[in-house]
Amino acid sequence: MSKVDLAIIGSGGAAFAAAIRASGLGRSVVMIERGTFGGTCVNTGCVPSKALIAAGQARHVAADAGTRFPGIATSAGPVDLAALVAGTQDLVEELRAEKYAAVAKAHGWRVMHGQATFAGTPQTPVLQVTGPEGRVEVVEAAHYLIATGARAWAPPIEGLADVGYLTSTTAMGLSHVPDSLLVLGGGYVAMELAQVFARLGSSVTMLVRSRLASKEEPEVSTALEAVFADEGIRVVRRARIQAVTRDQLAGQVVATATVGGAVQQYRADQILVAMGRRPVTEGLNLTAIGVKTGSVGEVTVTDWFQSTNPRVWAAGDVTGHPEFVYVAARHGQIVVDNAFNHADRPVDYTHLPRVTFTSPAVGAVGMTEAQVVAAGIRCDCRVLPLSQVPRALVNRDTRGFIKIVIDADTQRILGITAVAVDAGELAATGVHLLGTTITEVADSWAPYLTMTEGLRIAAKSFTTDVSLLSCCA
């Protein structure tokens, strides 16, 4: 039996942040991983998806530059997806080696490969780790951290399991670009991959239950639908999918959906399911040690990320909290501080920025207008079209907007949302603007011909007709 201070199940963002923090405190750590080392972000999430997004953007710019910039002539040929995916995998393996395997070695914690299962009792929990060759090793720890993440989820649609559907993971491993693609879902994964494959050459149709980016401002949905329409992506809103079959003769997937009270059929060579993710907790035998889970399998935790067993903690996507790798990393750090330093630290999402890497991107921080109203706060807001932002004019891309939501009584900023090139940077800047007044932002310095200048202009729009201002007034 091995005895350590902290046993971590998983090897992603939350796991590594916790292991680094615990090692820095002089605590002994063991990390257990049953799959590919490094977790979702580097292997099948952030890194490969953003690499493909960048590739799709490069091809799109080549095809579109001539219409945006007079005097520019470019072209874009067919895509060798196998070569593109291979190059992306090279990047993944490089980062996995440098940022995960090498980091673990440098800090000196032990890495075990195998399936971890809890055993013992709620008072004396242990882990049984079954290695690749079937050997079982028992690990006893002062504290345990469940950081197993989440995986793509498919709803129980009739026939879906039989047609060979794609997920975000398998879609990024295709060897060729499908001629046509059905995308089920309207969240950030669905939008990013729909645009990627459209830009790589697929004819894409999205079947969306409500609207695109339904948790963000409605202006986001309107703007992105217009962008997608320009790029040939068909968005079918309020689609209720009834069944999915495969037409063997045509070699296509057929989705039957109810849209506006009428039954419609949609065909494509491939179907991608991007309708959310679910926490990974099966096989851990959590009930044996008194750890409760929620309705979708998430580990039930306190504000301090302690489970219903005081020696067992959870962090990252497995908790059902916002699914961002930087959130998972923050969780991992907090768990260690709470477990070993009795810090009683909660996590505060008030200033949490969020980005969807479409083009133009979606960036947001703070509350939406609907959330402000629901909170009983008297709300005021302005939506600044990018046609009023000099950087967007220079880019010859004015698709999008910047929206600021304020408390009408205090004039303090409660939320910022943008659809724009560099919207992620606008959201990151917005982290530091929440709680300030529109007057403070309107009177602040902003470099001319940056997208961030748009925040200053949007703040000015509360008191000024910005169409009557000079370029840098």
Give residues with Cβ within 8 angstroms of 21, minimum separation 6. Answer: 332, 333, 336, 337
Strand-strand pairing, 125-130 and 277-279? unpaired
Q: Which pLDDT score is estimated for 19? A: 98
Distance CA 292, CA 275 (A): 25
Distance CA 274, CA 183 (A): 7
Matching CATH number, 353-466, of 3.40.50.10490, 3.90.45.10, 3.30.465.10, 3.30.390.30: 3.30.390.30
CB 335 within 8 A of CB 319: no
At 426, list the tokens: 């606008």
Specify the DSSP element, H or E, that contains 401. strand 401-407
Distance CA 112, CA 128 (A): 11
Please tell me the class of the 160-275 domain: alpha beta
CB 365 within 8 A of CB 354: yes
Give residues with Cβ within 8 angstroms of 295, minimum separation 6. Answer: none
Per the listing, tokens 């007709």 go with 465
Distance CA 18, CA 334 (A): 8
Q: Which pLDDT score is estimated for 66? A: 60
Q: Which pLDDT score is estimated for 168? A: 93
Each residue's pLDDT tens digit, 361-411: 999 999 999 999 999 999 999 999 999 999 999 999 999 999 999 999 999
Q: Which pLDDT score is estimated for 8? A: 98
Q: 2-45+83-152+278-341, what's its fold?
A: FAD/NAD(P)-binding domain (3.50.50)
Q: Which pLDDT score is estimated for 65? A: 62
% of the chain beyond a pLDDT of 90:
82
Distance CA 377, CA 409 (A): 9
Q: Which pLDDT score is estimated for 372? A: 98
CA dihedral (195, 200, 205, 206) positive or negative: negative
CB 427 within 8 A of CB 451: no
Each residue's pLDDT tens digit, 404-447: 999 999 999 999 999 999 999 999 999 999 999 999 999 999 99
CB 183 within 8 A of CB 253: no
pTM reported for the whole predicted model: 0.93
Domain ranges of the chain: 2-45+83-152+278-341, 160-275, 353-466
Residue 102: phi and psi, rounded to 5, are: -65, -35
155: number of Cβ within 10 Å: 12
2-45+83-152+278-341 and 160-275 in the same fold = yes
Distance CA 7, CA 207 (A): 42
CB-based contacts of 405-408 (< 8 A; 24+ apart in sequence) = 405/366, 405/367, 405/368, 405/369, 405/372, 405/379, 405/380, 405/381, 406/379, 406/380, 406/381, 406/438, 406/462, 407/372, 407/377, 407/378, 407/379, 407/380, 408/377, 408/378, 408/379, 408/380
Q: C-alpha 209: how far from its chain's center?
A: 19
Low pLDDT (below 50) residues in the chain = none
